[in-house]
Structure formats: C-alpha cells, structure tokens
C-alpha cells in the first residue's frame, strides 16, 4: 500500500508537470514582448486589435445561434423519444455520435460540394447563407454533447407525469415543451450550451473553409505572422475554456439529482 501511494504521487506529479510547464511557459512568453521587463503589451495589442474584436464578436454570435439551433433540434427530439418513441433511441444515439466519427473537415467538405452556389440549395451563394451554414455545421459538431446533456437532464425529471399534468391543465405542445420541459432541463441545456461555446469559439476548420471572418481563422493569421501575440491569445483562449467549464461545474450543483426519488 505504501509503495502504491508513492507511485500515485509520482504519476500525479509527472502528469501535473506535463500540463503545467507549457501553460506557465506560455504565460511567461506572453509577458516578454517588451525587452527586459515583464509587460502586458502583447495582451494590449491583441485586445486593442480591431480585427480581434470583430472576429471574436462574430464567433460569439455564431456560438449563440449554434446553441439556439442545437436546443431547437435536440430538446424536442430527446423529449419525444423519452415520451413516445423509445424504440428510436438507439438510432438517434447513433446519429448523435456520428460527428465524433466523421471528421469536421469531411462534413464541411460535403457542405461545400452539396450547397455550393450552383446547387438547388445554394447556401454558399450568399453571405448570410454561408453564415447560416457555419452555424449549422457548428450545431452538427455540438450534437453529441448537446444530446447527451439534454438526455441526462430529462432522465432526472418525470417527463410523463409532467406532460400529463400539463395536458390536464389544457396546455398545448409548444407550451409543454417551452414552459414545462425546457425550464426543468434548463441547467442541463446550459451545460451543453457552454460546452458548445467552448468548442465553437476558436474553431478553425469549418470557419476557414467556408471563408467566414471568425475567430479561428484570425488566430491562424496571427499565429503565422506574430511572435508574442499568439501566446497571449493562447492564454485568453485557455481562460475562456476554463470559464465555460467552471460555469458548467457551478451549474451542476443546482441540477436536480433525480426526480424519481421515492420520498
């Protein structure tokens, strides 16, 4: 047992070193822009860059639309499968796992060829269409996470009783989903939403191939042309990811553990 504990410490410390040395070195590097002293110059330049602001804003808006689209697609489907069509569950689970198997670059390649400006559905024929296609692509990428989050949330509430109670009170389907089910799984939906945000915000492949002015292509451009700014951007990106994950953890404390408790 004693040696077990020793090896556990060794593993933990080696692991911590592998993960913390690059992060600390990146912080240190990002502060070195002014010769000889530590300064926040790199951060100031990055944050003051008009292109940073516009691309970041673009990606934030894309992420918000992605989350809305994901919720509109996933919540009714997950709810309906729990309520009425449990036999479809394996098929839906399989489909939601596909984006983990099919690489993003393949999916976006399919879009480019299928929805080009000469196709019957010319998404890429207009600017707005291309933006929509980017949001759609992001929603596809987030499908595995969104579906699992929502399904876990639905598991903790008694979908059937809630639905029946709402129906007895005369509620229609939109009222049931919008005002009964959604508020009950809101925390689960928000966890999925923050994860989606973290994935989407710096995404490069889809944004670049669809030629959108998003944060990912901007990062690539800075990375190829600057020395210290990329390090600052890496720290900013890490902080954003950390923020999203912390929000998920905080939210999970408010989530109901199980609604089907006997008491």
Partner 1 sequence: MTDLSLSNQALATRPAPPNEATAFRLPTQWIGVAPFFIFALMFLILPTLYLVVGAFQRGDGSFTLDNILQLVSDPSISSSYWVSIKISFWSAIIGAFAGLAIAIAIVRGGLPGWTRSATLTFSGVASNFAGLPLAFAFLATLGRVGIVTTLLRDVLNINIYAMGFNFLTTSGLIAVYLFFQIPLMVVIIVPAIDGLKKEWGEAAATLGATQSQYWRMVVIPVIWPSFLGTVILLFANAFGAIATAYAFAGPALNIVPIKLYSQINGDVLHNPQLGYAIAFGMIVITGLANVFYIWFRTRSERWLK
The string of DSSP letters for 76-134 reads: HHHHHHHHT-GGGHHHHHHHHHHHHHS-HHHHHHHHHHHSSTTSSS-GGGSHHHHHHHH
Nearer to partner 1, 95 or 186 (CB): 95
Give the CA diameter of the chain.
Answer: 73
168 part of the interface to partner 1, by CB under 8 A: yes
Q: At residue 38, what are phi and psi to the nearest 5 degrees?
A: -80, 135
Residue choice 178, 242, 250, 258 for contact with partner 1 (CB under 8 A): 242
192 part of the interface to partner 1, by CB under 8 A: no
Q: Which residues of 201-234 are buried (b: 16+ CB within 10 A; e: fewer)?
A: bbbebbbbbbebebbbbbbeebeeebebbbbbbb
CB-CB contact of 96 with 144 (8 Å): yes
92 part of the interface to partner 1, by CB under 8 A: yes
- The contact pattern for partner 1, residues 211-230, with x = CB under 8 A and - = no contact, is -----x--xx--xx--x--x
Binding window for partner 1 (CB under 8 A); candidates: 47-55, 182-190, 240-248, 253-261: 240-248
CB-CB contact of 148 with 130 (8 Å): no
Site for partner 1 in 19-48 (CB under 8 A): 19, 21-23, 25-26, 28-30
Q: Residue 182 CB, nearest distance to partner 1 (Å)?
A: 13
Site for partner 1 in 107-166 (CB under 8 A): 107, 109-114, 136-137, 139-140, 143, 160, 163-164
Tokens for 122, please give them: 């010319």
Q: Residue 263 CB, nearest distance to partner 1 (Å)?
A: 24
CB-CB contact of 232 with 152 (8 Å): no
Q: Residue 188 CB, nearest distance to partner 1 (Å)?
A: 16
Nearer to partner 1, 180 or 263 (CB): 180
């Amino acid at each position: 047992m004693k040696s077990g504990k020793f090896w556990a410490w060794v593993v933990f410390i080696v692991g911590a070193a592998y993960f913390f040395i690059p992060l600390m070195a990146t912080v240190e590097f990002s502060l070195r822009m002014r010769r000889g002293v530590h300064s926040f110059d790199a951060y100031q330049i990055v944050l003051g860059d008009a292109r940073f602001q516009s691309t970041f804003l673009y990606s934030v808006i894309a992420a918000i639309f992605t989350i809305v689209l994901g919720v509109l697609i996933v919540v009714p489907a997950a709810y309906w499968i729990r309520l009425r069509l449990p036999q479809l569950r394996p098929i839906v689970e399989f489909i939601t796992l596909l984006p983990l198997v099919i690489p993003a670059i393949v999916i976006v390649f399919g879009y480019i060829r299928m929805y080009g400006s000469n196709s019957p559905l010319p998404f890429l024929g207009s600017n707005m269409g291309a933006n929509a296609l980017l949001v759609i692509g992001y929603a596809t990428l987030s499908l595995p996470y969104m579906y699992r989050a929502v399904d876990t949330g639905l598991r903790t509430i008694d979908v059937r009783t809630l639905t029946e109670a709402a129906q007895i009170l005369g509620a229609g389907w939109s009222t049931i989903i919008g005002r009964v089910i959604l508020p009950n799984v809101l925390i689960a939906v928000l966890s999925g939403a923050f994860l989606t945000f973290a994935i989407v915000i710096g995404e490069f492949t889809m944004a670049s191939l669809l030629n959108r002015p998003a944060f990912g292509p901007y990062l690539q451009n800075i990375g190829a042309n600057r020395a210290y700014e990329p390090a600052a951007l890496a720290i900013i990106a890490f902080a954003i990811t950390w923020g999203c994950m912390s929000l998920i953890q905080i939210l999970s404390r408010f989530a109901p553990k199980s609604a089907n408790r006997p008491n």
